[in-house]
């Protein structure tokens, strides 16, 4: 695709003719879905205490709070243990589907419902990383995050290759069935009055459901290309707008964090990093924390460096090289926080938010490297099984049987 000139018509053409940043949107899809999935799996033994009926923040307390702030949570539709268990498993399944890019449009909506429902059920269980995930799950619904590195992209490429060979591509049967089931569930929830805390999430769910149905109808029945072209333009504008909002949100997070740090006396005298390293809650490796905090110079450099990087990052977007250097520094900082302070999910969420600024060339090389490593692993596994040398060796129970 040729780049349009940097004029108003050229910008409009670029925004409408394609969904920009396919690799960046795929990275944030994989990153946020993977982060939430790992969190749900790690807390699976404690799910009842965190978000379920056995937690200290009871169902009625959560219901009263959401009635007041109009937050959405499907877990408050029922206080039964069976409903909670089913919903928790649904949240895990939606995370896996979005991670793999299977029906990514539908999976992104279910992922958002899972994130909002669990976090709004127990609002005091979250941290900064949960807040980022909360926002990004909403923005992901508007993105075309399955263009690359997804099962959707793989299926589209397979169908395109079949058409190029003149073969008949079978009609999609999973999509209409999934659309009908979710529509029935959405209608049931709406008619039973479950959406009584606000209009935003119900309106969004119905809009997405209608849009997906219209998209499928146009693909199957439209005789001309104009309806599909119109839908592509609308979806591309939504995608590019959502991607811009995600980038602005990341800049806002760092800018506000940096400017608030500047106002703190501990950040001004260079000792702010020292204190969390000596809190029992944030020291999974006390020896490593003590080693880092023994040098006052290191503490001073880390404290001032953190503030300078966070304040400067939004301004470095105008210079690609400086921006890439700061990206490496910030991702390294979050990796250190994950290990030293024991905040892996906060760090993963922030690293994923940073990844939206990574260069496309780097992401393509990274994807190619991962694909080659996976292919070598598959070939090695296949080669490790010895081929049978005779019909007798292939009999059940033999070592050589596949």
Mean of pLDDT values over 5-11: 70
If one counts every other C-beta atom within 10 angstroms of the C-beta of residue 377, the result is 10
Residue 390 is predicted with a pLDDT of: 41
Does the pLDDT of residue 95 top 60, yes or no?
yes
Which residues, in sequence order, are CB contacts of 282 under 8 Å at separation 6+?
276, 341, 342, 343
Return the higher-pLDDT residue of 202 and 293. Answer: 202
In 188-236, at which residue ranges do the beta strands (DSSP E only) sit? none
- Taking only the tens place, the pLDDT of each residue in 317-326 is 889 999 999 9
Residue 279 is predicted with a pLDDT of: 87
Q: Would you say 307 and 261 are in contact if contact means Cβ atoms under 8 Å apart?
A: yes
Return the higher-pLDDT residue of 128 and 79. Answer: 79
For the chain, domain boundaries:
18-156+190-263
Does the pLDDT of residue 192 top 50, yes or no?
yes
pLDDT-based confidence at 225, cuts 50/70/90? confident
Return the higher-pLDDT residue of 163 and 11. Answer: 163
Helix, strand counts (H, E) of the chain:
17, 0
DSSP string, 257-295: HHHHHHTSHHHHTT-TTTTGGG-GGG-SSHHHHHHHHT-
pLDDT-based confidence at 3, cuts 50/70/90? low
- Taking only the tens place, the pLDDT of each residue in 257-287 is 999 999 999 999 999 999 998 888 888 888 8
- Taking only the tens place, the pLDDT of each residue in 26-70 is 999 999 999 999 999 999 999 999 999 888 899 999 999 998 989
Nearest-angstrom CA–CA distance, 283 and 275 = 11
Mean of pLDDT values over 136-161: 94
Residue closest to 128 by CA, chosen among 312, 353, 336: 353
Does the pLDDT of residue 24 top 80, yes or no?
yes
Is-above-0.85 flag for pTM?
Answer: yes
Does the pLDDT of residue 1 top 50, yes or no?
no
Residue 291 is predicted with a pLDDT of: 87
Residue 222 is predicted with a pLDDT of: 66
pLDDT-based confidence at 5, cuts 50/70/90? low
């Amino acid at each position: 695709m040729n780049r349009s000139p940097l004029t108003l018509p050229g910008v409009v053409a670029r925004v409408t003719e394609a969904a920009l940043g396919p690799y960046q949107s795929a990275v944030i899809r994989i990153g946020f879905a993977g982060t939430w999935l790992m969190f749900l799996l790690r807390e699976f033994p404690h799910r009842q205490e965190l978000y379920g009926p056995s937690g200290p923040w009871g169902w009625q307390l959560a219901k009263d709070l959401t009635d007041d702030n109009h937050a959405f949570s499907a877990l408050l539709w029922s206080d039964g243990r069976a409903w909670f268990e089913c919903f928790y498993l649904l949240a895990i399944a939606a995370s896996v589907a979005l991670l793999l890019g299977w029906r990514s449009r539908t999976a992104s909506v279910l992922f958002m419902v899972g994130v909002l429902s669990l976090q709004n059920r127990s609002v005091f269980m979250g941290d900064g990383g949960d807040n980022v995930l909360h926002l990004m799950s909403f923005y992901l619904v508007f993105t075309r995050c399955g263009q690359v590195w997804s099962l959707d992209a793989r299926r589209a490429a397979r169908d395109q290759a079949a058409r190029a060979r003149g073969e008949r591509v079978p009609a999609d049967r999973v999509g209409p069935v999934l659309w009908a089931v979710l529509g029935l569930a959405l209608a049931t929830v709406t008619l039973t009055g479950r959406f009584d805390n606000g209009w935003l999430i119900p309106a969004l769910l119905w809009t997405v459901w209608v849009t997906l149905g219209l998209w499928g109808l146009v693909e199957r029945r439209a005789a001309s290309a104009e309806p599909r072209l119109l839908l592509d333009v609308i979806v591309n504008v939504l995608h590019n707008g959502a991607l811009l909002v995600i980038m602005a949100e990341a800049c806002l997070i760092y800018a506000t964090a940096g400017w608030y740090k500047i106002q703190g006396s501990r950040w001004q005298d260079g000792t702010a990093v020292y204190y969390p390293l000596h809190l029992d809650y944030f020291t999974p490796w006390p020896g490593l924390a003590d080693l880092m905090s023994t040098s006052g110079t290191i503490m001073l450099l880390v404290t001032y460096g953190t503030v300078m990087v966070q304040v400067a990052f939004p301004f470095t977007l105008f210079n690609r090289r400086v921006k890439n250097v700061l990206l490496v520094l910030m991702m390294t900082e979050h990796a250190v926080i994950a290990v030293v302070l024991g905040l892996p999910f906060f760090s993963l969420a922030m690293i994923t938010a940073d990844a939206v600024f990574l260069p496309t060339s780097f992401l393509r090389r990274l994807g190619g490297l991962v694909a080659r490593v996976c292919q070598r692993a598959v070939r090695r596994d296949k080669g490790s099984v010895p081929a049978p040398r005779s019909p007798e060796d292939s009999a059940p129970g033999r070592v050589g049987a596949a």
